[in-house]
Amino acid sequence: MAKKAAKKATKKAAKKTTKKAAKKTTKKATKKASKK
C-alpha cells in the first residue's frame, strides 16, 4: 500500500511541475508575441 501511495504522490508532483513549466513557456510566448 505504501508503494502505491508513493507512486501516486510522484505522479501528482510530476503533473504539478509540468503544469508550472507549461505556464512559464506560455508566458514567455505571449510576451514575445506582444512585443511584435
What's the predicted TM-score (pTM) here?
0.49
Rounded CA separation 1/27 (Å): 39
| pLDDT for the residue 34 | 82
Which H or E run includes 4?
A: helix 2-35
Instruction: Spell out the per-residue pLDDT of the chain, length 36, in tens.
Output: 788 988 998 999 889 899 898 888 898 888 888 876
In three-state secondary structure terms, 33 is helix
